[in-house]
A and B are shown apart, each in its own frame.
Chain A
Amino acid sequence: MKGNQDTATLNVGRAATTAQEAAIVLVGNPNVGKSVLFSKLTGKFVIISNYPGTTVEIARGETRLDGEAVAVIDTPGVNELSSRTGDAQVTCDVLRDHPSAKIVQVADAKNLRRALLLTLQLAELGRPQMLVLNMMDELDRCGGRIDIRKLSELLGVPVVPTVATAGTGIHLLQKNVAVACNASDFVARAVAPSSGAAADYDRNVERLRRVNEVMGQCYTLDRPRHPTFAQKIGWWATDPLRGTLLLALALYFMFWFVGLVGAGTFVNFFEEVVFHRHVSPWAIHAVDAVLPFPHQHAMEPSEYKLEIPLTPTRGIALMTSTREVLSSKYNLAPGVTLSWWQEALRFLHDFLVGEYGAITMAFSYGFAIVLPIVATFFLVFSLLEDSGYLPRLAVMVNRLFRGMGLNGKAVLPMVLGLGCDTMATMTTRILETRKERVITTLLLALAVPCSAQLGVLMAMMARISYPAAAFWVLLMVGVAFAVGWLAARVHRGQTSDFIMELPPMRLPQFGNIAVKTLARLEWYLTEVIPLFILGTAILFFLDRLDLLSKITRVCEPLVKGWLGLPPETANAFLIGFLRRDYGAVCLLDAATGSNPTLSAHQVLVAMVTITLFMPCIATMFMIARELGKRTALWVTLFIFPFAFLVGGIVHRLEHILGF
């Protein structure tokens, strides 16, 4: 990841030599549409959502102004430029590193006061700047009017109205960048420096006084009498009663769409029809043709049932079909001894389409099981993100999270973690103190299953009773709270105040959701598929070198003695170190495969243990990058023994629980 950053700087270095003079830095309050504007200007894709803090890293691109390439830099949103607060640090650094860049301040036209507060701070830098009033359509809807010419006169800089999502005003913006200039004396006059801890506050009060003077001359508001439907939904979402109902509704919809439609219907189709009936037999035929040695593949039945799920157990069956298909299991022709050449062919054959084959195992798992689940999850998640619901969820859970030394904002990375823990670990940057980041990261790594694993776990849940499934959910929540509570006591840091802006509820745009889902899928697959192939290869070689049985024997006291599971499941836990969802799929195979070896109670124990594992190796690297190697080491050293500890305790409770 470090290397990534280096190449980014290198690229910009090259761009800077050609367009040093004309670089543009997009600056603005959080959630005003800087990233939308950035992608409209540069044609580059960046993740855009409806909550403050989507952009945590700077993005760079190029746009053409009068036929000349100009570097554009997108920065995380800031409310003020004082470098004393950590979140403004990145933006301040960018401004310092590009001393000749023009500052394009993006503002939410509805929130002109806050934007102008920032304008004044930028003006004090004494650099060419301009103001973009974005979201003019929303300003119209809430009854506001801004006299743009007057505002431009007062500030002494160009002011351009835009609606970035619709692309209105982008050309005007590109034209006006050339005439960006230093602000008028009235706004640029530095506020009298005062000393002491109250300095920032006093200066902002003085700036706001000036802002109000400007506002008085060019801003009028005639608010409509009745709130819009979107506003009402926003209010309901934070109401204790209606908010809980709305949350339950959202959760059920998510469970239905991801858990039942995604992990049920879609996975069934891809696994049974696409892979089991077409891709695998085709691959077996192809490999057999290329790598011939005398053997005969067995046939096995493939059953497929298409249904629209309603509840986990009931659905509307549309069609069923059964067919005999080629299996990856094979028998050698009787009485034949293979030459060394044929042995070599057989080795390659097994590597590709054998029991631990790259195509029959890694691909079918990666594409048939993970892809549908992850795709449906990211789709729903993008919808939630763009609607503006997530910050309201933070309001609902703030009290609850206080007990864990966190505040409501931590719910954003946690929910994102249900999609991918690695991505979520990066998002913990929106939290203000290190203590919050450490605890959230720990909980993400420990108890928040990512979408891939969640789908597999849901499939495993079919093997256990309802009380056992409820027990699993409660145990995970309980473990998260207990560990969070303990960590909050052990860690000596501070928890920040909960002051959070609630963006307006908006109707998500289809285009943005589609693009965002696809981009996340691409990111996920490029990370997941190589790891699956690596994991399968490790299993394959261990199996070939006869180490798998030895490892099984070594791990027997732990797996059989402590967890009470069959010793063969050791390979599932072994591969779980690489990716816990992969480990889970091995356990799923042991639980529901052709000859299930696990009892219902053992399934529960296995589920608990594998859920608490570290999500994947990529998450570990991400923790090391975000919080340092020491913290990553501690988190890892805590998580694995803890997972086995809890699993063992659940096993010991068999007689008390009764399931």
Chain B
Amino acid sequence: MKKPPHHYHLCPLCGFEFERTETHCADGCPMGRFCNLIRCPNCQYEFPAEPRLLGWVRRLFCREPSRATQREMVGLHELEVGEQGELVCLSCEQHSRRNALAVYGLVPGSRLLLQQKRPTFVIRVGETELAIETGIAREIFVKRIPREEAAFQ
């Protein structure tokens, strides 16, 4: 849930995230460099850039909506401590690493609980507590299990 740095823009219409350099306006627009509008490369909607000061104030008072929750699949490192997840896939490039996790029961479909993130990730699979490095945690993709549902498990 990293906040996008200020040179990233979020289209207010379709939610597409893009860099300023990706915007293309029509050639020969009379506004030239005085134009303060940004065009979303996805839906072509044009909107004014947010003044910096306003951006600071907004970030100060409003919480960035955590869009990641709506996503189906998140990296293990994006899970909150104490949250449960169902493993969707392992993106490890080395097969030995994938198998090293599989022997602990970490295969698609198995459930895990994130116990801590620092200094090293600790997860719980069944009754096994497993410490894994952050680098490997990023390669584990899970589906969040809502807390209400997890309580019944």
The reply to whether the CB of A140 lies closer than 8 angstroms to some CB of chain B is no
A198-B136 in contact (CB<8A)? no
Quick check: is B103 within 8 A (CB to CB) of the other chain? yes
Asked if A238 and B102 make an inter-chain contact with CB atoms under 8 angstroms apart, the answer reads no
Q: Which residues on the A side are within 8 Å of B105 (C-beta)?
A: 113-114, 117, 208
Which residue of chain B lies nearest to A118 when distances are taken between CB atoms in the complex?
B103
Q: Is A394 an interface residue (CB 8 A)?
A: yes
Residues of B within 8 A of A108 (CB): 127
Interface stretch of the complex, out of B13-21, B22-30, B58-66, B114-122: B114-122
Chain B residues whose CB sits within 8 angstroms of the CB of A234 once the complex forms: 129
95-148 of chain A: CB within 8 A of chain B:
108, 110-114, 117, 142, 144
Most B CB contacts (10 A, CB to CB) among A80, A234, A238, A239 go to A238
Asked whether, in the complex, the Cβ of B119 is within 8 Å of the Cβ of A398, the reply is: yes
Contacts of A197 in B (CB 8 A): 95
Contacts known (A117-B103, A399-B119); A502 close to B129, Cβ less than 8 A: yes
Distance in Å: Cβ of A193 to nearest Cβ of chain B: 15
**Known contacts A114-B128, A499-B132: A395-B99 contact under CB 8 Å:** no
Contact between B127 and A502, CB atoms less than 8 A apart: no
- Chain B residues with CB under 8 Å of A110's CB are 126-127
A532–B116 alpha-carbon span in the complex (Å): 49
User: Which residues of chain B from 88 to 110 have any CB-CB distance to chain A below 8 Å in the complex?
Assistant: 95-105, 107-108, 110
Q: Give the CA-CA distance A84 to B110 in the complex, in Å.
A: 25
Residue A220 lies at the interface, judged by CB distance under 8 Å to chain B:
no
Please determine whether B115 and A142 come into contact, CB atoms closer than 8 angstroms. Answer: no
Complex Cα distance A108/B101, Å? 18
> At the interface, yes or no: A17 with Cβ under 8 Å from chain B?
no
- Residues of B near A391 (CB, < 8 A) are 131
B130 near A: Cβ within 8 Å? yes
Bound complex: CA A108 to CA B126 (Å): 12
Q: Are B129 and A499 in touch, CB under 8 angstroms?
A: no
Query: Does B136 lie within 8 Å of A499, measured CB to CB?
Result: yes
B98: which of A201, A235, A407 is its contact (CB, 8 Å)?
Answer: A201
A499-B101 in contact (CB<8A): yes
Q: Least Cβ distance of B75 to chain A in Å?
A: 17
**Closest chain A residue to B118, Cβ basis:** A240
Kindly state the separation between the CA atoms of A85 and B102 in the bound complex, as whole angstroms: 14
Whether B133 sits at the interface, judged by CB under 8 Å, is yes
Q: Which residues of A contact B118 (CB under 8 A)?
A: 240
A204 touches B116 (CB 8 A): no
A-B interface contact total, Cβ < 8 Å = 108
Interface residue count on the B side (C-beta < 8 Å): 30
Give the residues in chain A near B101, CB-CB below 8 Å. Answer: 499
B120-A399 in contact (CB<8A): yes
A408 interfacial by beta-carbon distance below 8 Å? yes
A79 at the interface (CB under 8 A from B): yes
Q: Chain A: which residue is nearest B108 at the CB level?
A: A205
B23 to chain A, nearest CB (A): 41
In whole angstroms, what is the CA distance A498 to B100 when docked?
10
Q: How many residues of A contact B (CB 8 A)?
A: 41
A235, B107: Cβ atoms closer than 8 Å:
no
**B residues in contact with A205, CB < 8 Å:** 102, 107-108
Interface residues of A in 490-522 (CB under 8 A from B): 497-502, 504
- In whole angstroms, what is the CA distance A616 to B50 when docked? 70
Taking the nearest CB of chain B, how far is it from the CB of A405, in angstroms? 14
Contacts of A201-215 to chain B: CB distance below 8 A: 201, 204-205, 208
Q: Does A396 contact B (CB under 8 A)?
A: yes
Query: What is the minimal beta-carbon distance from B80 to any residue of chain A, in angstroms?
Result: 16
A228 vs chain B, min Cβ distance (A): 13
Distance between Cα atoms of A499 and B133 in the complex (Å): 7
Q: Which residues of A contact B115 (CB under 8 A)?
A: 235
Contacts of B133 in A (CB 8 A): 398, 407, 497-499
Q: How far is the CB of B96 from chain A (nearest CB, A)?
A: 7
Determine whether A200 belongs to the interface, using a CB cutoff of 8 Å to chain B. Answer: yes
Given contacts A204-B102, A235-B115, contact A502 B122 (CB under 8 A): yes
Q: Choose among A201, A240, A500 the residue that contacts B119 (Cβ–Cβ < 8 A).
A: A240
Given contacts A497-B133, A501-B128, contact A204 B104 (CB under 8 A): no
Please state if B120 and A408 are interface contacts (CB–CB under 8 Å).
Answer: yes
Within 8 A of A (CB), among B32-59: none
Residues of B within 8 A of A399 (CB): 119-120
Roughly how many angstroms separate A117 CA and B101 CA in the complex, as a whole number?
13
Complex: A111 Cα to B99 Cα, angstroms: 18
In the bound complex, CA of A391 to CA of B104 (Å): 16
Given contacts A79-B103, A114-B105, A204-B107, A395 and B130 within 8 Å (CB-CB): no
Q: Is the CB of A114 within 8 A of B104?
A: yes
Chain B, range 108-153, C-beta contacts under 8 Å to A: 108, 110, 115-116, 118-120, 122, 126-133, 135-136
Give the one of B98, B105, B122, B136 with max A CB within 10 A: B105
In Å, the complex CA distance between A238 and B121 comes to: 10
For A142, what are the chain B residues with a Cβ–Cβ distance below 8 Å?
127
Would you list which residues of chain A between 598 and 623 have a CB under 8 Å from chain B? none
Residue of A nearest to B104 (CB): A114
Chain B residues within an 8 Å CB radius of A112: 126
- B128 proximity list for chain A (CB < 8 A): 111, 114, 501
Could you tell me if B96 and A502 are in contact, using CB atoms closer than 8 angstroms? no
In the complex, are the beta carbons of A200 and B127 less than 8 A apart? no
Q: Which of A79, A198, A408 contacts B95 (CB 8 A)?
A: A198
Most A CB within 10 A of own CB, among B95, B126, B131:
B131
Please measure, in the bound complex, the distance between the C-alpha atom of A112 and the C-alpha atom of B125, giving whole angstroms: 11
CB distance from B147 to the nearest CB of A (A): 15
Q: How far is the CA of A44 from the CA of B107 in the complex (A)?
A: 39
Q: Chain A 146-185, CB within 8 Å of chain B: the 1/0 string?
A: 0000000000000000000000000000000000000000
Chain A neighbourhood of B136, CB < 8 A: 497-499
User: Is the beta-carbon distance between A238 and B127 smaller than 8 angstroms?
Assistant: no
Q: How far is the CB of A10 from chain B (nearest CB, A)?
A: 35
Minimum Cβ distance to chain A for residue B124 (Å):
9
Please tell me if the beta carbons of A395 and B122 are within 8 angstroms of each other in the complex: yes
A238-B131, A396-B119, A502-B129 given; name 18 further pairs at CB < 8 Å: A84-B96, A111-B126, A114-B103, A114-B104, A201-B98, A208-B105, A208-B110, A235-B115, A238-B122, A395-B119, A396-B120, A398-B120, A498-B120, A499-B104, A499-B131, A499-B136, A500-B130, A500-B132
List chain A positions with a Cβ less than 8 A from chain B: 79-80, 82, 84-85, 108, 110-114, 117, 142, 144, 197-198, 200-201, 204-205, 208, 234-235, 238-240, 391, 394-396, 398-399, 407-408, 497-502, 504
25 A-B interface contacts by CB (under 8 A)? A108-B127, A111-B128, A112-B126, A114-B126, A198-B98, A200-B96, A201-B98, A204-B99, A204-B103, A205-B102, A205-B108, A235-B116, A238-B120, A238-B122, A391-B131, A395-B119, A399-B119, A408-B131, A497-B133, A498-B131, A498-B132, A500-B131, A501-B128, A501-B129, A502-B129
Leading 4 A-B pairs by shortest Cβ distance: A79-B103, A110-B127, A502-B129, A201-B99
